[in-house]
Amino acid sequence: IISQLRLSNVSKLVEVGPSNEFIVTWPYVPEALVPGNEPDGVNQVDRVDLVRQGWSDYSRSRHTAQQVLRTMIALIRHDVMVVDPTLNIIVDRESGEPLFIDFGRGETIGSVYKTRIKTFMKKVLALLVRSVAKACYDVAARFVRELEETLYEELERWQDEKTADQKLAVAVVGSSMKWQEGIECCREIWASADENPFRKMFKDQTEVLPGERKLREPQEIENLHGDSDEEQPTDDGNADDDPDGLCNAD
């Protein structure tokens, strides 16, 4: 399933060396960081800036965390979540791009859709929260707010695309679509003081956490499927189909 989806930041092939001493992935990651094994999570990528210029603005780790969140939503959308994501996210130390690997332990059959989302999303957020465990408040606030902005961008894109699809489908009165449940579940987890580890960690520092936020209304996506009523060019019979005169050449 994963190889057919062609999702960004999701591995197509993984080989593990003897005694688990190394891994080879496709796409290839020459120097892989496993944030699940690091106490400060994805912050390890900021060390590249520290070595090169002696300081870091933490933009690399924020970018990595945002990409992890985007990939998380993509996997939730396609319902290919795994039960152990924390140890199966690796990061290219140079570019900061994450890669989700090892989909051998899926969580699909015999479980509730919302339960799968909660298990998966909470584990990913628990990994990302390590990045601000020892950060000052202004760094933590920027990290959390940019994560929220990314999350809502992805949820709103999901909402817009599915709303456009639904307009072309046969309406079923009184039904709740699976994608609507998925979007609402992700939003509820992020807004929850009990299930969002960022809100748990900074429950007493309200200046770090963004205020309550709701999804905007769905917006039109132009030319998503093409417009069947769009006027097509017609051949009036008068157009010159041999402007260079090649048909009359000797």
Distance from C-alpha of 106 to C-alpha of 110, rounded to nearest angstrom: 11
What's residue 51's pLDDT? 82
Average pLDDT over residues 96-120: 77
What's residue 200's pLDDT? 94
Q: How confident is the model at residue 249 (pLDDT cuts 50, 70, 90)?
A: low
Q: Report the Cα 36 to chain-centroid distance in Å.
A: 18
Nearest Cα to 44, choosing from 162, 144, 151, 130? 130
**229-248: b or e for each residue (b if 16 or more CB lie within 10 Å)?**
eeeeeeeeeeeeeeeeeeee
Q: What is the DSSP string of 169-218?
A: SPP-TT---HHHHHHHHHHHHHH-TTT-HHHHHTTT-TTTS-----PPPP
Most confident of 13-22, 51-60, 134-143: 134-143
Looking at per-residue pLDDT, the higher value among 157 and 79 belongs to 157
pLDDT for 189 beyond 50: yes
pLDDT for 136 beyond 60: yes
pLDDT for 170 beyond 80: no
Q: How confident is the model at residue 130 (pLDDT cuts 50, 70, 90)?
A: very high
Looking at per-residue pLDDT, the higher value among 9 and 37 belongs to 37
Nearest Cα to 35, choosing from 129, 110, 120? 129
Amino acid at 158: W
- Tokens standing for 248? 């009359």
Helix 59-77, helix 113-128: angle, nearest 10? 170
What's residue 224's pLDDT? 46
pLDDT for 175 beyond 60: no
Q: Which residues pair with 15 in a beta bridge?
A: 24
Looking at per-residue pLDDT, the higher value among 136 and 166 belongs to 136
Contact indicator for 137, 208 with CB cutoff of 8 Å: yes
Within the chain, how many helices (H) and strands (E) appear?
7, 5
pLDDT for 68 beyond 90: yes
Question: Any idea which of 36-50, 81-95, 157-171 has the lowest mean pLDDT?
Answer: 157-171
Contact indicator for 42, 35 with CB cutoff of 8 Å: yes
Looking at per-residue pLDDT, the higher value among 175 and 206 belongs to 206
Residues 17-47 pLDDT 10s: 666 666 666 566 777 888 999 999 999 899 8
- Average pLDDT of the chain to the nearest whole number: 80
Distances, alpha carbon 40 to alpha carbons 138, 142, 248, in Å: 17, 17, 76
pLDDT for 206 beyond 50: yes
Q: What percent of the chain has pLDDT over 90?
A: 39
Q: Phi first, then psi: what are they for 108, rounded to 5°? A: -130, -60
Q: What number of other Cβ atoms are within 10 A of residue 197's Cβ?
A: 18
Q: What percent of the chain has pLDDT over 70?
A: 71
Looking at per-residue pLDDT, the higher value among 250 and 37 belongs to 37
- Sorted by sequence, the CB contacts under 8 Å of residue 77 that are 6+ apart come out as 158, 179, 182
